[in-house]
Amino acid sequence: MFSLSPSIKNALYILGFFARTLFGVGRFIKHSQASFKILIMQILFTFVHAMGISTLAMAIGAAVFVIGAPYLSILDKQDLIYLLLITIIMRELGPLLTAFIVIARSATAIATEIAGMVISHEVEAYISVGVDPIEHLAVPRFLGVTISLLLLNIYFSVFGLAGSYLVAQFFSSTPMSLYFGSLLHLLTFRDIALSLIKSISFGAIISIVAVVEGFSVERATTEVPVAGLRAVSGAFALCIVVNVLLSALYYVVLA
């Protein structure tokens, strides 16, 4: 008989879980006031507590300017520095780097937390009293991580461009209006759309993979850290694949 490989079965299970989570979003918004605190706490942990990446964003923006400006000056193409900043910070590095930060912080936490609840039979207790664990546990984390990653990407992009502006003052006294005016002139709707689509996709991937791995444990407490490791590795791999596909769609099909 024809049988699917374990990797295909796992991918189909994740897709099914994703569809079930999306179906539960509407019910969560309408009825799950008790789970609203989980959503707020998830945003607090994933977005607010990660706002320290502003320093990293400014450093990367500064590095792009310091490395790129001299070479473009040699080629007499100084104005291309703005396009370079948009490409690296907004299109590529911003969404992916913030996704990696969220994976390191939140994917492990979500997977181990839910795995611990499964081992301690808390999930069974929810089911016994008629509470849907998908709606109560998965949906608020899915929404929280996705919203947080979207906000974190915007936050990273703003500080990354600001960091390059501060460094630009050491090379030449570029007026703020000229610098940001040039960026806005070259920035297109497709650039913004690609950045936002990537961050939303990465947020959905990270949250779903983490929740699925958390629910996948059975009995032993030793499975809890393993679930966290699987969540991190799976989220990393899927985010990289999706990033390549979305970038290829942008540069090859839409260019």
Q: Could you report the per-residue pLDDT of 202-222, keeping only the tens digit for each? A: 999 999 999 999 998 887 888
The residue-averaged pLDDT of 223-242 equals 92
B/e letters for 107-128, b = 16+ CB within 10 Å, e = fewer, are: bbbbbbbbbebbbeeebeebee
Q: 224 pLDDT exceeds 50?
A: yes
The residue-averaged pLDDT of 161-189 equals 78
- Report yes or no: 201 and 146 within 8 Å, Cβ to Cβ: no
pLDDT at 171: 66
pLDDT at 44: 92
Q: Give the residue with greater pLDDT, 88 vs 255.
A: 88
Residues 6+ apart with CB under 8 A from 186: 82, 83, 86
Top mean pLDDT of 51-60, 78-87, 117-126, 205-214 is at 205-214
Q: 240 pLDDT exceeds 90?
A: yes
Q: 95 pLDDT exceeds 80?
A: yes
pLDDT at 1: 46
pLDDT at 179: 79
Q: 34 pLDDT exceeds 80?
A: no
B/e letters for 26-46, b = 16+ CB within 10 Å, e = fewer, are: eebeeebeebeebbeebbebb
pLDDT at 5: 65
Q: 238 pLDDT exceeds 70?
A: yes
Give whole-number Cα distances, 237 to 111, 150, 163, 243, in Å.
Answer: 16, 19, 30, 10
| DSSP secondary structure string for all residues of 161-215 | HHHHHHHHHHH----HHHHHHHHHHH--HHHHHHHHHHHHHHHHHHHHHHHHHHH
Question: 32: closest CA among 151, 148, 106, 141?
Answer: 141
pLDDT at 254: 64
Q: Express as a percent the part of the chain with pLDDT over 90.
A: 35
